[in-house]
Amino acid sequence: MNTRLLTLWQKTDDRGAVRQRLYHVLRQSIIRMVLAPGQALSEKEIADTFDVSRQPVREAFIRLSEAGLVEVRPQRGTYVVRISRQAVLEARFVREAVEVAVAKLAAEQGLDEATLNELRELIERQRRCVDPQDYDRFFQLDEAFHRTLALGVHQQAAWRVTEEVKAQLDRVRYLSVPDSTPIDKLIGQHTRIVDTIARRDVEAAAEAMAVHQREIWQSLPDLVRRFPAMFEDSASATLGAERTTEADL
């Protein structure tokens, strides 16, 4: 575990504040399952791993708690929370609303040629992740794709909202690839989003983005069955109830 944490640490900008670097590394480690659901986190161990004081570690824990990724239990310790299916569905609902609005705006206003070319280049780079099964790289490029689209229509606030809610989704996405959701399927969805925006088809762009954002909902029941220990409510809730919840949304 320490080796993988240090690898992520080395990829961060060493000019940044320690607490921000720690938060980024721990957040990514939780999303990528380096730090597994239910795992206890030690302030001292993490401080020792990165050769920092315990104060920025404590601050990172607080931010992770606010993001719903860890639970700080007084006198007992800090734990990575298990994935809540309800939290995932709620986060997906918010992200779909935001990203569909972005796609519609992009189709209505049109994207400049430079942004369209950048989106297409990102898709080509995603395709190069398929054969080597470079899933970490694919997820980085996937995030760049959605960020580029939002910033392409000058919706920085929309991207910030997406970043806030997508941590819960990203953990499920990491579990879903490649078995539940092959990345070539996601690449095909990205391609359709760009194509519909490029031809200024507002309704088709909105639909393409909605289908893409609902992919998590399609794979969630399979993931709960395959990884029950990673979900906090896998034993008590029924998949049928979740389907009803999604229909109501």
The 3-state secondary structure of 165-221 reads HHHHHHHHHHHHCCCCCCHHHHHHHHHHHHHHHHCCCHHHHHHHHHHHHCHHHHHHH
The pLDDT, as a whole number, for residue 58 is 93
| pLDDT category of residue 248 using cuts at 50, 70 and 90 | very low
Indicate the average pLDDT of the chain.
89
E strands present in the chain: 40-41, 70-73, 77-80
Least confident of 99-108, 124-133, 228-237: 228-237
Per-residue pLDDT reduced to its tens digit, 182-237: 899 999 999 999 999 999 999 999 999 999 999 988 889 999 999 999 998 654 44
pLDDT value at 127 more than 80 = yes
Mutual orientation of helices 156-176 and 215-226 as an angle, nearest 10°?
40
Report percent pLDDT > 90 for the chain: 65
The most confident of 112-126, 215-229, 233-247, by mean pLDDT: 112-126
> Residue 233: its pLDDT value, please?
66
How would residue 17 be classed by pLDDT, with cut points 50, 70 and 90?
confident
Domain boundaries, the chain: 2-80, 85-248
Distance CA 176, CA 11 (A): 25
Rounded mean pLDDT of 75-80? 90
pLDDT of residue 181: 85
State the average pLDDT over residues 172-181. 84
Domain 85-248 fold is Four Helix Bundle (Hemerythrin (Met), subunit A) (1.20.120)
Q: Is the pLDDT of residue 242 over 80?
A: no
This prediction has a pTM of 0.84
Q: Give me the CATH code for the 2-80 domain, please.
A: 1.10.10.10
Amino acid code (one letter) for 192: R
